[in-house]
Amino acid sequence: MKIHTRSAATVTLLLAGLAASPWIEPCEAQVAKPFAAEQVSCQADELRGLLGRSALLFGPFYDDRTAMFLFTFGAPSRTVRGIGLMEQSDRSGAVNGPERQIAFELSPAWPRLQRNPTRPPLNAIYLLRDPLGSDLGAAEDPFAMAVVIDSTADPLHNQDPNTLLVIDNLTAREGGTASATKAGRALSALLDRCHSEFTAADLRVFDILSRVVRATIFPTHSTDPRALRMHKLATIYRGEEAEPIAGGVRASYRIDLYPVGDGTPARRVSLEVKIELGDDGRLGDATLRVLPLCASPNDRGCSTSTTETQVAIIRPAASNRVWQGTSPTVCWNGGASCPSETSFSFADRLADTAWQQP
């Protein structure tokens, strides 16, 4: 599990990470705005590209829980947020304890001058652990995790571990790594490609969805006793619609899930959630639906996976508690008893939390 820089360098990296904050632009107006189809596709490609050069690693005492590794957007432009989530159930469905999370932010900075004045400026990339959104522990804890992101131009053939951005969820006493920085022109170009200007409302929805969307994926069918639950990759981004309603706007957001673990190429389960957003920033009534089967493998806004997938919107629980109760759920390739579309209220899902109040 000890995939981190020497502790003597950690303080330097933390200070470097703090230096990145002036480049984060302030949020725009609260109201969500419509997006063009090409903007939606660009977001999907950017986040999938990040997943393709990233990994979530487990420690030596990992207890066979299922996990989700998720990317979404974290600023009006250029900055990406993510969560490595070790779920409360193992691959057989048995509850092993509360969920554990490592939250992080990935930000590019403008080209920086190097210490050697004869060398040209380089793009810098910062990977920062979010201390308020992460569960920290020791290397012997079953929820020890590390986030790894390749900053090079050719991650499929990169053999140099020194080019990897790595953080973990170990405490400072354990020698944990809370931040990392590298030069990364290729990764900076990926983060710059879409130029999507998200509003404060969008960013808040991304943040909440990343904490309440849960997926259970089976390689065949849930009725097969040999079908162990799968890990999954996920992305959350804006959809096209943002239509005015009384007191706010109804905006669409997309969720893409990629099953991991059966050795087959990554196929996608795509979902859309439409949310009523009040002018005061509150999330109201919502509809979640699975997008239909693609006519062609290269189509967008549709699903290609052959797995059985159940997607729920949970009521979040504190870090030391197991979340419980029934949740609005939709299914892909599920039985007739599980719908492909469902409606729910965020006022209900976020009741008794501080997340509903902007």
358 in a domain, yes or no? Answer: no
Structural domain of 170:
7-349
Predicted confidence (pLDDT) per residue in 82-116, tens digit: 999 999 999 999 999 999 999 999 998 877 788 88
How many Cα atoms sit within 13 Å of 75 on the Cβ side? 18
334 in a domain, yes or no? Answer: yes
pLDDT value of position 19: 40
Domain count, the chain: 1
pTM, two decimal places: 0.89
The H-or-E segment that residue 96 falls in is: none
**CA-based nearest residue to 49, from 145, 196, 126, 155:** 155
Predicted confidence (pLDDT) per residue in 312-336, tens digit: 999 999 888 999 999 999 999 987 8
356 in a domain, yes or no? Answer: no
Exposure string over 266-283, b if 16+ CB within 10 A, otherwise e: eebbbbbbbbbbbeebbb
Cα separation, 52 vs 262, whole angstroms = 17
pLDDT value of position 262: 58
Q: Nearest 5°: phi and psi at 84?
A: -100, 120
pLDDT value of position 27: 45
93 in a domain, yes or no? Answer: yes
The H-or-E segment that residue 180 falls in is: strand 179-183
Cβ atoms < 10 Å from Cβ of 63: 13
pLDDT value of position 6: 43
- Which DSSP letter does residue 9 get? H
357 in a domain, yes or no? Answer: no
Cα separation, 78 vs 23, whole angstroms = 10
Q: Are strands 231-245 and 164-168 parallel, antiparallel or unpaired?
A: unpaired
Q: Nearest 5°: phi and psi at 203?
A: -65, -35
Q: Are strands 65-73 and 231-245 parallel, antiparallel or unpaired?
A: parallel
Q: C-alpha angle with apex 38: 34 to 44, nearest 5 degrees?
A: 95
Beta bridge partners of 344: 286
Q: What is the DSSP string of 228-284?
A: ---EEEEEEEEEEEEEEETTEEEEEEEEEEEEESSSSPP--EEEEEEEEEETTS-EE
Per-residue pLDDT of the chain (358 residues; tens, 9 = 90+): 544 444 444 343 334 434 444 444 444 457 899 999 999 999 999 999 999 999 999 999 999 999 999 999 998 778 999 999 999 999 999 999 999 999 999 998 877 788 889 988 888 899 999 999 999 999 999 999 999 999 998 998 999 999 999 999 999 999 999 999 998 888 888 988 888 889 999 999 999 999 999 999 998 778 887 788 999 999 999 999 999 999 999 999 999 999 997 565 678 999 999 999 999 889 999 999 999 999 987 888 999 998 899 999 999 998 889 999 999 999 999 878 899 999 999 999 999 899 988 7
Phi-psi region of 142 (alpha: psi -120 to 50; beta: other; left: phi over 0): alpha
User: What amino acid is encoded at 176 in this protein?
Assistant: G
342 in a domain, yes or no? Answer: yes
